[in-house]
Amino acid sequence: MDLILQQKLNRMFSPRGIAFFGGVNTPASFGHLVLLSQMRYGYQGRLYPVSEKGGTVAGVPILKSLAEADGPVDLAAVSVPASAVPEVLRQCLANGVAGVQVHSSGFGETGEAEGRRLQDELKAIANQGLRIIGPNCFGLHSPAGGITVLPGSDFSKEPGGLALISQSGGVATDFGYEAARAGLRISKAASFGNGVDVDAATLLEYFAHDPETKVIAAYIEGVPDAGRFLELLKATTPRKPVVVWKAGLTPLGRRAAQSHTGSLAGAADLWTGALRQAGAVSVQGLDEMMDALVGLHYFRNRGSRVALVGGGGAIGVYSSDLAYRHGLDLPAFSEETQAELRRHFPTPGNSMVNPLDTGTPVLDLKILKNICRIVLEREPVDLLLVILLLRPIEREINNFMTMMGLPVPAAGSYLEALVEPLAGLRGETGKDVAVVLDNRAHLAQDIEVEAVARRVAPLFQARGIAVFSDAKRALGAVRLARRS
């Protein structure tokens, strides 16, 4: 990668100072909120709001010109009207700014001659050495650099190894929150919009060389130079997994992409085949993207052999169908293992084969721990998937205990009691463990069940155990992780 370009992107992701243009005097305007987002996220560098009107914003002096800045400015956030953007960029270029993120829209995505002319003018300025993210974007996020996108002030501040390339600001925002929920941590993220200068290929090359980034995710609508992007992808995937959500693969999707970011999306069959040949994990939708990333992060073995425990008969049958369609295997347990398991299930109504139907969704914890141990220690499987039905565990059994005058256990205590035993088995056997927290308690009075799931999930994740909301997503994650 070009060393100067790499250095400028480094400066942009970890800026010593940030300038803000547009709306800094206007409460709740986009530019004003971009500035407040950095403050709320905890940015530690210098903030330089710029407006000819002067004054202060949130206690920070507003400069009348960028030339008044008393320290280095590595990044500028530009939210002025499209017609005023070129002049602001020239001011940044003249004052040694490494790069800008242009939030403003009204460029090539409009399809109009004036918008295309303005976008060409931005390209000409970029050719003079100013790096441009956007226009029509949310910009950059970097926990290590202390910066975030406008809706990202509540993103995790803990850096990790996951990078995002996103043509959509909305996808970048949702990704930040979904990653935190899945127990994943982000190294850097870029919402690049129209990609007039720094585009998907540039970001892919940058993240491929970034030592902080271990896995790359990308939401792409259109790629101006598909050949270059695919060559970079092919060179990257042997070293770092890349998960690609290529949007706009249908006639309606291509039309939407054209109006969103001015992108020409391309044909589905060509992109699907090209991504596969380049070694990327191809997904559709944010949920599938997150499932792939969860699988890549938590599953060490990436094998096809799954043992499934719990959930009930129908879920077991459904999961078996899913596993078959995904090219996975639920190998039947040996006769010796079945005999050992049968010691814990003397009554009819339990299947010992795989899936292991426990009969009751609220199985005695000692028995559940024992059967998980037996399966992991005895059977040649790569992953144990434990399906836990939250409504019976957290609501129904408690209602009956209340009726009988018996003490009701603390919310979440059943699930919490499984964390360490399952984590211990994962460490002792070297086999992967995942849990499904299946919540079908959807009445208004059941809202606390969802609160339990969200509180307990990080406990499992912190011990290396992936958490899913249903068996379909769990098995999909196994399938996708195996493609890397």
pLDDT at 269 over 60: yes
Model confidence at 343, pLDDT cuts 50, 70, 90, reads: confident
Average pLDDT over residues 393-401: 87
Structure tokens at 108: 């090539």
- Angle among Cα 400, 403, 406 to the nearest 5 degrees reads 85
What does the pLDDT read at residue 354? 94
Contact 332, 354 (CB under 8 A): yes
Neighbours of 308 (CB within 10 A): 26
The answer to which of 255-264, 308-317, 435-444, 452-461 has the lowest mean pLDDT is 255-264
What does the pLDDT read at residue 256? 65
Nearest to 82 by CA among 173, 200, 194, 224: 194
Give the architecture-level CATH label for domain 3-251+260-295. 3-Layer(aba) Sandwich (3.40)
What does the pLDDT read at residue 244? 97
CB neighbour burial string for 222-237, b if at least 16 within 10 angstroms, e if fewer: bbeebebbbebbeebb
What does the pLDDT read at residue 251? 67
Proportion of the chain above pLDDT 70, given as a percent? 96
- Angle among Cα 423, 424, 426 to the nearest 5 degrees reads 65
Distance of CA 322 to the CA centre of its chain: 24
The answer to which of 373-377, 404-408, 477-481 has the lowest mean pLDDT is 404-408
Average pLDDT over residues 244-256: 77
Contact 82, 90 (CB under 8 A): no
Higher pLDDT, 222 or 202: 202
Distance, CA of 92 to CA of 75 (rounded, Å): 9
Distance, CA of 93 to CA of 99 (rounded, Å): 8
Residue 34, H or E segment:
helix 30-41
Contact 26, 34 (CB under 8 A): no
- Angle among Cα 386, 388, 391 to the nearest 5 degrees reads 175
pLDDT at 109 over 90: yes
What does the pLDDT read at residue 253? 61
Q: Which residues 6+ apart lie within 8 Å of 355 measured at CB? A: 308, 309, 311, 315, 316, 319, 320, 330
Helical residues (DSSP H) of 351-469, grouped into ranges: 365-378, 390-391, 397-403, 413-429, 447-462
Distance, CA of 439 to CA of 390 (rounded, Å): 5
Q: How far is CA 397 from CA 316, 355, 361, 408, in A?
A: 22, 24, 10, 9
Instruction: Tell me the one-letter amino acid at 337.
Output: T
pLDDT at 468 over 70: yes
Own/partner contacts of 226-233, CB < 8 Å, gap of 24 or more, are 226/266, 226/274, 228/201, 229/200, 229/201, 229/204, 230/274, 230/275, 230/277, 230/278, 232/201, 232/204, 232/205, 232/208, 233/204, 233/275, 233/278, 233/279, 233/280
Higher pLDDT, 392 or 351: 392
pLDDT at 263 over 60: no
What does the pLDDT read at residue 173? 97
What does the pLDDT read at residue 352? 86
What does the pLDDT read at residue 441? 85
Proportion of the chain above pLDDT 90, given as a percent? 84
The answer to which of 129-133, 259-263, 397-401, 453-457 has the lowest mean pLDDT is 259-263
Model confidence at 469, pLDDT cuts 50, 70, 90, reads: very high
Average pLDDT over residues 415-426: 98
Contact 382, 477 (CB under 8 A): no
Topology of domain 301-481 in CATH is Rossmann fold (3.40.50)
At 9-64, the pLDDT tens digits run 999 999 999 999 999 999 999 999 999 999 999 999 999 999 999 999 999 999 99
At 346-377, the pLDDT tens digits run 666 667 899 998 888 888 999 999 999 999 99
pLDDT at 89 over 70: yes
Q: Supply φ then ψ for residue 48, to 5 degrees.
A: -130, 80
Distance, CA of 359 to CA of 410 (rounded, Å): 24
Structure tokens at 298: 């938590």
Residue 315, H or E segment:
helix 313-325
What does the pLDDT read at residue 264? 46
Average pLDDT over residues 164-170: 97
Distance, CA of 469 to CA of 453 (rounded, Å): 9
Model confidence at 176, pLDDT cuts 50, 70, 90, reads: very high
What does the pLDDT read at residue 387? 96
Contact 281, 243 (CB under 8 A): yes
What does the pLDDT read at residue 197? 98
pLDDT at 161 over 80: yes
Nearest to 330 by CA among 358, 363, 356: 356
Q: Which residues 6+ apart lie within 8 Å of 434 measured at CB? A: 298, 299, 383, 384, 385, 386, 465, 466, 467, 468, 474, 477
Average pLDDT over residues 410-420: 97
pLDDT at 110 over 90: yes
Higher pLDDT, 188 or 483: 188
Model confidence at 262, pLDDT cuts 50, 70, 90, reads: low
Residues of the chain with CATH 3.40.50.261: 3-251+260-295, 301-481
On average, the pLDDT of the chain sits at 94
Contact 189, 164 (CB under 8 A): yes
What does the pLDDT read at residue 270? 86
Model confidence at 401, pLDDT cuts 50, 70, 90, reads: confident
Structure tokens at 352: 């010992």
What does the pLDDT read at residue 134? 97
